[in-house]
Chain A
Amino acid sequence: MNKRKMKETLLGGLIRNNPTFVLVLGTCPTIAMTTTLFQAFAMGVATTFVLIFSNLFVSLLRGLIPDRVRIPCYIVIISTFVIIVQMVMQRFMPGLYSTMQAFIALIVVNCIILARAESYASCNPPLYSALDGVSMGLGFTAALCLIGVVREFLAGGSFAGMKIPGFPAMDGVGASAFGFIVFGCMMALFNFAMQKLRERRERMEASVLPLAGGAAEEVAE
């Protein structure tokens, strides 16, 4: 087992290839399910579950699935796990299911899941594919929760359902159009921060290299 590859896979979906802020996949649930932190978290967890298991099974069956029917096979696998999520939520969380049910069913057509099945799980071993599901799912959940916190605070003056004194609710801010604005601003902030980090790392590497070169010359002398 390659530890470096595992680390890269695990961190890839969280930061470098974040499905929401970098790959800009799954924008429908990102806008629809981020009006409150709780809904955003629940959507993220449901999607993560489907991502992990669909990636795992696509990877396990990758040698068996003929190329020409791979997409129908992936859809059958993905929809199976989405229906399982629906059944479990309906049984154990009927209140939450009642508010989210239309969007839970739409996880089947979430681009992140099909994209990871096609681009990663279909050409990687099961363990790495499941890890990629965990990583992408956590990245998606984190992004949804961040947007959810901002939208809930601005629209309702609350955090995770708890009213914050001194911050009034703003009418119209909970609408989808404002959701797009928040999403865009957070995406810009995330990518700006990533770019600054990259530049800083490059500067550090550039300053270290001549020293290393000099040290090598001294050793040679």
Chain B
Amino acid sequence: MDKAKFRSLGKSVLVLALIALCSGLLLGLVYRLTYVDPLLSTYERFAADTGASFSAMADEEGAAYGDGRVVYYALSDDGTVQAFLAEGGGGFGGTVQLYVYLRGGKIEKIAVGDHKETYLGRLEDAGFLQGFLGKDIASLDALATDGVAGATKSSNAVKSALDAVASYCGEHAPQGTVSARPAPGAGEAAAVRTSFAGGSGS
């Protein structure tokens, strides 16, 4: 290879590598400055969405059901609200995260979390999520619900997430108890065992 050409190529690679390195360092710094513990941010979101206080996560391990998964489950300190962070796969841009809140076994609120769906707005326009509100989680068959035309994959991801919550409730309700771990900085009062269905904890 021509020496001048080789030198020019080497310079190009070096400059590109240097820019990429500086970019990585800058991003690393910003990441450190903006990092939030996912567990802590979930507590904050649960509290902001429901107005209830959550000091312990009843299940940090979660469970997978088909395309859906329950990531975190928590029971409010007063035992009235069950909060789930669930995610459903198979969306247009990957997984869709949902915050699902139950009161007395019925769906009280659903909020959308992280996602990369460009058509998720169509679900909101069509009132797709609102259609699930007030329904009993024990008899919910999310997968059998009609999707929204033009956002079929996004609908499927949402249905998978809701189905995961329903399956999780169905699986854990008869057993009764799941152990709770305290929230970061929540103090000792939170280290208790909570009842999944009844809310005898805290």
User: Of B8, B20, B93, B114, which one neighbours A76 at CB under 8 angstroms?
Assistant: B20
- B-side binding surface: helix, strand, loop or mixed? helix
Closest Cβ of chain B to A46, distance in Å, is 15
Q: How far is the CB of A50 from chain B (nearest CB, A)?
A: 13
User: Closest CB of chain A to B159's CB: distance in Å?
Assistant: 19
Of the candidates B13, B31, B45, B118, which one forms a contact with A94 in the assembled complex, judged by CB atoms under 8 Å apart? Answer: B45
Q: Can you list, as one digit per residue, whether each of B37-61 has a CB less than 8 Å from chain A (1) or not (0)?
A: 0000100010000000000000000
Residue of B whose beta carbon sits closest to that of A83: B27
Quick check: B117 and A102 within 8 Å, CB to CB? yes
Interface footprint category on A? 20 to 34
Tell me if A77 counts as interface (CB < 8 A to partner B): yes
Kindly identify, within residues 111 to 151 of chain B, every residue whose CB is under 8 Å from any CB belonging to chain A.
112-118, 120-121, 125
| Smallest CB gap from A92: residue in B | B34
Closest Cβ neighbor of B18 among chain A residues = A64
> Which residues of chain A are within 8 angstroms of B20 by Cβ–Cβ distance?
76
**Stretch binding the partner chain, chosen from A12-20, A66-74, A135-143, A144-152:** A66-74
Q: Is residue A65 contacting chain B, with contact meaning CB distance below 8 A?
A: yes
> Which of A64, A79, A98 meets B113, CB within 8 Å?
A98
Question: Within residues 54 to 93 of chain A, which ones have a CB less than 8 A from any CB in chain B?
Answer: 61, 64-66, 68-69, 72-73, 76-77, 79-80, 83-84, 87-88, 90-92
How near does chain A come to B99, taking the closest CB pair, in angstroms? 10
B118 touches A32 (CB 8 A): yes
Residues of A within 8 A of B45 (CB): 94
Task: Report whether over half of chain A's contact residues are helix, strand or loop; otherwise say mixed.
Answer: helix
A64, B23: Cα distance in complex, Å? 16
Contacts of A101 in B (CB 8 A): 114-116
Q: Could you tell me if A61 and B93 are in contact, using CB atoms closer than 8 angstroms?
A: no
Residue contact A69 to B34, C-beta cutoff 8 Å: no
CA–CA, A64 to B19, complex, Å? 10
Q: Which chain B residues numbered 1 to 42 have a C-beta less than 8 Å away from chain A? A: 8, 11-13, 15-16, 19-20, 23, 26-27, 30-31, 34-36, 41
Given contacts A66-B8, A83-B27, A88-B34, contact A35 B16 (CB under 8 A): no
Q: Nearest chain-A residue to B13 (Cβ)?
A: A69
Nearest Cβ on chain B to A54's Cβ, whole angstroms: 11
For this complex, 9 residue pairs linking A to B, each with C-beta atoms less than 8 Å apart, are A35-B121, A61-B19, A64-B15, A80-B23, A88-B30, A91-B35, A91-B36, A98-B115, A102-B93
Could you tell me which A residues sit within 8 Å of B by CB distance?
32, 35, 61, 64-66, 68-69, 72-73, 76-77, 79-80, 83-84, 87-88, 90-92, 94, 98-99, 101-103, 105, 174
